[in-house]
Amino acid sequence: MNKINIGDPLDRVDGRLKVTGQATYSGEYKMPGLTYGVLVPATITSGTITAMNIAAAQRSPGVLAVMTPFNAPKVPGYQPGAANPVKGLKLFNDQKIFFNGQPIALVVAETFEKATYAASLVKATYQAEPFETDFYRNFDQGVIPNGGKYKDYIRGHADAYKSAPVIIEQDYMLPSEIHNPMELHVTIAFWEGKDKVVLYTKTQGLMRSQTAIANAFQLDPANVRIHSRFVGGAFGSALRTWPHEVAAVQAAKMLQRPVKLTLTREQMFTLVGYRPLTIQKIGLGASPDGRLIGITHESHSQSAIYEEFSETAVAVSQFLYNTPNVNTRYKVVPLNVGVPAPMRGPGEATGSFALESALDELSYQLNMDPIELRLKNYTDADPQRNLPWSSKYLKECYQQGAERIGWDKRPTKPASLRDGEWLVGYGIGCGAFDSNRSRTQAKIKLLPDGTVNIRSAASDIGPGTATAMVLIAAATLGLSAGNIVFELGDSSFPLSPNQGGSRTVASVGSAVHAACIALKQKINSLSGLAVDSTAAIDYSTILQQHNLPLLELTQESDSTEEAKQYSSYSFSAQFAQVYVHPLTGQVKVKRMVAVVDAGKVVNYKTAASQLIGGAIGGIGMALMEEAVFDDRFGRYVNGNFADYHVPVNADIPDVEAILIDKPDLYINPIGAKGIGEISLIGVAAAIANAVYNATGKRIRSLPITPDKLI
């Protein structure tokens, strides 16, 4: 038996299925009678649909239905007085248009091509109204979001930075960015009788999708079955059930046939959220020896007029550095745009770009090394919550990253280091992200052949969830990985949280761990061993000896009271070496070193992949990604993959991933902190700071395109 330990690099258990095309994604399920839905977007940005002509579309070959706000069956959860009413856009419920691209019809046909053609025949007339999509013009309309979480924060004195001897006060801009996972958003829905529905859909939360569909159609959640076994990336865009998914379920009910609704790449820009355009003001005040006297962080970001979106953009400034005075403010500006959504490192990635850029600016003003400045303001306890950290190895991140990137070669004077024609610079950016853990259940089954099956309704958007769970189970049971199967992606499995907020290993992993311990104890007692014996056992023999067909049990795990005595975050220090061409302004990220304290590493191989993926996302954020609005029409001018740039292989350098790999003893039995979000947080600042080091040009608005450097 190959003994395996937590932390060993295990190949992805579903890797072969994925690379050979045998992994079935939501849109790939075949079933008799499948029909195809295509959405028709509104061409105005605000107003009312006064009439629609759908006759030509209805007559078009193969068309089965054209659903519009004028003929759509009512969704019960959209109606006033519904129990658990659906929040946000109530698609096809009335004729109001809130943003350009909002669907006005769903055409369903026998083939995708027939539906696409018929969709082009749908005509609408509108009563257009004035609209607001210009963030800058509406900046002063910003409001503090509902709910206490986002109210103004003050520790010590507000705006204390203003009276400090050394001051930085700057604005930083981050444009809207689109998640753009490889897999399009897709839903197949069909009804099994009057009150039972099944969906194959792209989701990061089986339970959340189940609840959303149950609420929309006022069904017993047990009668809503969600399948989402493989997800081709999401980055936060599949953390909720979107209105078009409800529409697919509605159409399937109307037709009494399965309906598959796939968004186009262009629709992915308008219908499934994005990281919102944000302007942040940072004020830093310091003593001449580099001690922070005050931090002020104010953030404004865009939101939708029909639904408020908020994120924790100013949170990092409240606790990342040790300073007596901090004040933060967060506002959102409602516009005629689609609603944003969490996007990898939601809030923190945005906030750390501003904070870590400002800190870099301060370091030059103080004539101090940026790492030394961070060390000078290092905090050994959480100054915001006034709690000890459950674990923090950020100093180790600084040190190991500096060593690997060759920080000693960083020029202290900007624009002073060259390699041939190219200017060379080094930068650092840091971040933190909450260690989350949610209530989770796992069911474990020991089969007669001694193999083990474990199930939980978790989601996997690509990080290797099943692989991590197999590893945890194998290590806990003392079995080889090949003897364990972990199944996820089905809402009929035991309760599991969203794959969001970097909580999967801490939550699902803890439940799997608990289930394995319980199974082992049961086997121990059957074998006459002490309950907590760690002796190797032959599982199948014990079943036979006791004449048992199988053993099955379910365990639940949740965060503990003890964990609440600590403040828990993952920490990152990202390092970049960039080359900038002085004539063309081209930026090449030459090397990146990503160093993350994410607690105990469960699978070094997939964890390192997360760090590399986050670095790539951060390179896109720093240098390429920008969804550009034309405010005359209220729509994107680059809402497609030809014009919206994401990094490709040629843009990606050697990324070295380093994990500190020290267990956090308080937050879960595995000792793992989250890794998904933290991998991105700090990267954009590291690159922007390296660009300054290379060129002496401080770019405070992303992306750093060549025009800004020449």
683 touching ligand MOS, by CB under 6 A: no
Identify the residue among 78, 126, 235, 321 touching ligand MOS (CB under 6 A).
Answer: 235
Would you give the binding string for ligand MOS spanning residues 173-212, x where CB under 6 A is met? -------------------------------x--------
- Specify the stretch interacting with ligand MOS by CB under 6 A; choose among 112-120, 233-241, 589-597, 620-628: 233-241
632 CB-near residues (< 8 Å, 6+ apart): none
Confirm if 285 and 167 have CB atoms less than 8 A apart. Answer: yes
**Does 497 interact with ligand MOS (rule: CB under 6 A)?**
no
Other Cβ atoms less than 10 A from the Cβ of 526: the count is 15
Toward ligand MOS, which CB reaches closer, 117 or 269? 269
Q: Coil, strand or helix: which one is 593?
A: strand
Q: Is 506 in the site for ligand MOS (CB under 6 A)?
A: no
Told to check if 634 binds ligand MOS by CB under 6 A, we report no
618 binds ligand MOS (CB under 6 A): no
Establish if 27 lies at the interface with ligand MOS (CB under 6 A). Answer: no
Closest contact distance (angstroms) between CB of 495 and ligand MOS is: 18
Two tokens at 298?
A: 């104010």
Q: Pairing mode, if any, of strands 569-580 and 587-597?
A: antiparallel
| Cα 67 from Cα 33, distance rounded (Å) | 19
| Integer Cα distance of 463 and 341 in angstroms | 20
Gap between the Cα atoms of 305 and 130, Å rounded: 13
Using CB under 6 A, which of 7, 489, 501, 682 touches ligand MOS?
A: 501
- CB closest to ligand MOS, residue no: 236
User: Read out DSSP for 217-263?
Assistant: HT--GGGEEEE-------TTTTSS--HHHHHHHHHHHHHTS-EEEE-
Piece of the chain touching ligand MOS by CB under 6 A; list 170-178, 287-295, 341-349, 446-454: 341-349
**Active site (annotated) includes residue 552:** no
* Contacting residue, 342, 347, 599, 703, with ligand MOS by CB under 6 A: 342
Least separation in angstroms between residue 657's CB and ligand MOS is: 19
Residue type, 307: E
Stretch that binds ligand MOS, among 34-42, 80-88, 152-160, 339-347 (CB under 6 A): 339-347
How far apart are CB 10 and ligand MOS at their closest, in Å?
23
| Closest alpha carbon to 171 in 135, 134, 131 | 135
Residue 273 or 671: the one with the smaller Cβ distance to ligand MOS is 273
10 Å CB burial of residue 670 (0-12, 13-18, 19+) is buried
Residue 304 beta carbon to ligand MOS: minimum distance, rounded to whole angstroms? 18
Q: Which of 239, 247, 244, 253 is nearest to 197 (CA)?
A: 253
Q: How far is CA 220 from CA 173, 211, 217, 228, 243, in A?
A: 45, 9, 9, 20, 20
- For position 344 contacting ligand MOS by CB under 6 A, the verdict is yes
Tokens encoding 584: 């063309």
Segment lying near ligand MOS (by CB under 6 A), choices 83-91, 338-346, 375-383, 543-551: 338-346
Chain centroid to Cα 484, Å, comes to 28
Q: Which is nearer to ligand MOS, 656 or 677 (CB)?
A: 677
Strands (DSSP E) along 228-373, which ranges?
259-262, 278-286, 292-304, 325-335
Report the greatest alpha carbon distance in the chain. Answer: 79
**Segment interacting with ligand MOS, rule: CB under 6 A, options 96-104, 147-155, 343-351, 536-544:** 343-351
Among the listed residues 101, 103, 346, 647, the single contact to ligand MOS using CB under 6 A: 346
> How far apart, in whole angstroms, are the C-alpha atoms of residue 353 and residue 443?
42
Amino acid present at 663: P
Q: How far is the CB of 347 from ligand MOS (least distance, A)?
A: 9
285 binds ligand MOS (CB under 6 A): no
Instruction: Please tell me the count of residues contacting ligand MOS according to CB under 6 A.
Output: 10
The single residue among 236, 285, 634, 639 that binds ligand MOS, judged by CB under 6 A, is 236
Considering the candidates 245, 308, 356, 677, report the single residue annotated as catalytic: 677
Q: Which residues are catalytic?
A: 677
Q: By the criterion CB under 6 A, which residues form the site for ligand MOS?
A: 204, 235-236, 239, 342-344, 346, 500-501
